[in-house]
Structure 1
Amino acid sequence: MAPAFRRDMLGTLLDGFHRYGDVVTYHFGPRWGPRAVSQNVVMAHHPDGIHEVFTTPRVFSRRTTGFQVLTEFIGAGLLTSDGEVWLRQRRTLQPLFTPRRVAGYTELMTAEAERVAADPTVAPGSTVDLHHLMQRYALRVVGRALFGDDVDEAIPQLQRLMPILSDLALARALQVVRAPLRWPTPRTRRITRERAAQYGIVDAIIARHADREPGAERDDMLSRLHTARDPETGQPLSTEEIRDQVLVFLLAGHETTAGALTFTLHLLGRYPEIQDRVAKGDADLVRAALLEGMRLYPPAYSTERLADVDTTIAGYQVPAGTRVMLSSFVTHRHPDFWPDPDRFDPDRFTGQHTRPRYAYFPFGGGPRSCIGEHFALLEATVLLRTLLARYRVEALDQRLRLAPMITLRPAEPVRAVLRPR
């Protein structure tokens, strides 16, 4: 199945679901061979099966190929760590992301949203690339939240690096046999070079932060990381852990939010009557449009776990050592829970509904649900309300080509015209 996944991962997953149902097994590598070069991957698509994988204690872990590769690229931060290390990090970082703490960033987000609306490149009637604009917005927000300062000088470098690193990481994760990074192959040398560039950018920003106003009282997230303590043991984060958390927040945090905003604005630009309702509506309707955008185009479109023991999913036997994948991109189109699933309809998220918990999981689920969910939703909602109050978005393309890398990205510029309201 590896060639089919490389050629069209999303199409292959949807086809497997429509053909075979809620639990599908894909074989990678030769039909017969040792586990090192031959393995089965089980996909679970029904909310009940997803609930089992996310919440069953001591059965599924993150010790998977995909997370091993991510650790090689972005270190052992909250996204990639596991077991006791993850639990300690989560306890330590959780107080930084409470709804009350996150609400304190509203003013910063509003200022950055106003900056986008007033950007000289957003001249009335001109064509813009929505993804480029949303990446800049999300990077500036997370940069200012992390460091109390803008990261303008790093933005072009990070925008160049992200698709390269994503492509390299996905290709490495799909390799049946992976050479250790210490082996000097052309692929590993490129990975090492690009990873060094990524860490160089982050280290330079951290160093600048350390040199600024010695002894002054600071209230940015990096300063809080330095003072954070595990509430149970009092243990601080190590210097390496702080660096890895910053890398996760800066790269993964901005990429997912930028994607959610890009796809939602594109959809609103295709459906002007819905856009006008959202622009004139209250915060709940704006949020509903965002949630529906993430239903159709979830930035974290898949995740995986490893079955540490023999278990079952939806009644099917799953041997220990099996990789289990969950795809929100597929489950968000499950017709049992989403009638006419390809239709853009924010009203799915207004009023009351009786869907199962894991019919919708853009931020993951269980104990390891995304710690930045409140931050991302507030950041995206502020931008949508600000931009739609000033401009009408007209999408120039009816369909977008998608690039499922580490996150779901548009494969090409997302063209739109912004016209004053």
Structure 2
Amino acid sequence: MVDVRRFVERGITVTTQLSKAAAVPGPTGHPLLGMLPALRDDLLGAILDGFHQHGDVVAYHVGLPRGPRAVSVDVINVHHPDGIHQVLTTPQVFSRRASAYEILREFIGEGLLTSEGDRWRRQRRTLQPLFTPRRVARYTELMADEAARVVDELAVTAGSVVDLYQVMQRYTMRVVGRALFGDDIDEVVPRLQELMPILGDLALARALQVVKLPLSWPTPRARRIGQVRATQYEIVDRIIADRQGRAGGAENEDLLGRLFAAEDPETGQALSIEEIRDQVLVFLLAGHETTSAGLAFTMHLLGRHPEVQERVVAAIGTGDEELVRAAVMEGMRLYPPVYSMERMSESDVVVSGYRIPANTKVVITPWVTHRHPEFWPDPERFEPDRFLGRQERPRYAYFPFGGGSRSCIGEHFALLEMTALLSALLARYRVDTRDERLAVVPRVTLRPAGPVRATLTLR
């Protein structure tokens, strides 16, 4: 029997909370365009300033002061771990019906990153067994081989200057390429490596459009997006078609072979060819861009702090990977490759004492929360010891891989991949970036604004 009283009481409680909740504070910005110019010119600086000035929940009005949603919208940023927990773990209230995922869906289809509802749940059940720590550990040798290749190819002389980001991009693309497709990647990797940054730039440009025209309209940008999308589909479709024609043997051991064999444990349903293609595109984007940037950022920080670098090298020498992993995690605290995540409120809701109306874009930003002084003393300092031993801090004070049911399925893979390269490179070379400045740009993911230069010397 349904307890009607419980639903009535809950409705009264929610209504009372909403009536007592405060309106969300925030900066006013430009008299006509609101915060659009500030967010477009310096997104990361603007949201960090907003947090310092207005607190844990901040409203940014974008567009005309009054007008239709197409040209006027409020964006709410939530920064406290308790509020982030609420946003990430109540998908019935905070859905992924947000523009960022709609744009990604236009570029890479409906894979695990962009799908919703029953389609997503079926994909998650099907793919989760492929990314358990035990399954991921099978790629350890592959990662070690590619890390050794990077170290050997550098072959630097004393005082050689390299672009760490370029080195890391080549490494991560080869790792994810071999994990997906096996050893036959020499033709594919260079083409995909050219396409991924272009895709990111086009997606960001589309995200910053106040009015988004349909891609079916023949604008120059829409045509360019269509060209890039067609090229990436052609590359992946050709690989899939080739694999269909010669299945069996060792090829079943790579990730593409496992995607062909994967079944939903509840229904026994396999992935369609279109779904396999979309998963491949998600893995290429998420497994390449984010990991290469995270590695470059961490190496830059270690190069600026030689005393920490030498402690990490000493740990590598003893086979203790805890400090190496801590350095990677601290690098992603200061420079989280996934610097923000969007949700849409499906109903009126109260977060941290503030009222958020239905159909409002809600953004959570690791870039800001990872610098929250309540949980990170001296937040701009690079200190891997923050991640050693048992730490008493809220779960969502640190969330570079998201959280809740939509947390990143590739977290174990990425951390293992980053640790492998860091260990191999630092064991051979001393990295110095003390004379270099790191500038970053928020695209689809956080990327360096230019080369990440470092001076390498043999140990």
Deviating more after overlay: 3-12 vs 389-398: 389-398
**Amino acid aligned to 2:262:** A
1:90-119 Cα offsets, whole Å, 9 max, x none, are 000000000000011101110111001101
Tell me, yes or no, if the aligned pair for 1:264 and 1:294 is still in contact at 8 Å: yes
Tell me, yes or no, if the aligned pair for 2:312 and 2:324 is still in contact at 8 Å: yes
Q: Which residue of 2 aligns with 1:114?
A: 148
Query: 1:7-406 maps to which residues of 2 (within 5 A)?
Result: 7-120=41-154, 122-211=156-245, 213-217=246-250, 218-281=252-315, 282-395=320-433, 397-406=435-444
1:309-349 Cα offsets, whole Å, 9 max, x none, are 11111121111100000100110001111111001010111
TM-score by length of 1: 0.97
C-alpha distance in structure 1 between counterparts of 2:243 and 2:433, whole Å? 39
**Amino acid aligned to 1:147:** F
C-alpha distance in structure 2 between counterparts of 1:124 and 1:67, whole Å? 46
C-alpha distance in structure 2 between counterparts of 1:331 and 1:408, whole Å? 15
Deviation, structure 1 residue 200 = 2.3
1:24-51 Cα offsets, whole Å, 9 max, x none, are 0111121101123211110000101100
C-alpha distance in structure 1 between counterparts of 2:102 and 2:279, whole Å? 16
Deviation, structure 1 residue 418 = 1.6
Unaligned runs of 5+ in 2: 1-34
SS of alignment partner, residue 158 of structure 1: helix
**Amino acid aligned to 2:249:** A
Aligned residues: 420
C-alpha distance in structure 2 between counterparts of 1:56 and 1:320, whole Å? 14
C-alpha distance in structure 2 between counterparts of 1:18 and 1:380, whole Å? 32
SS of alignment partner, residue 409 of structure 2: coil
Deviating more after overlay: 200-209 vs 161-170: 200-209
Structure of greater Rg = 2
C-alpha distance in structure 1 between counterparts of 2:435 and 2:285, whole Å? 27
Change (3 A) 1:315 1:150: farther
C-alpha distance in structure 2 between counterparts of 1:116 and 1:57, whole Å? 41
Tell me, yes or no, if the aligned pair for 1:64 and 1:306 is still in contact at 8 Å: yes
Deviating more after overlay: 214-223 vs 328-337: 214-223
SS of alignment partner, residue 118 of structure 1: helix
Q: Which residue of 1 aligns with 2:39?
A: 5
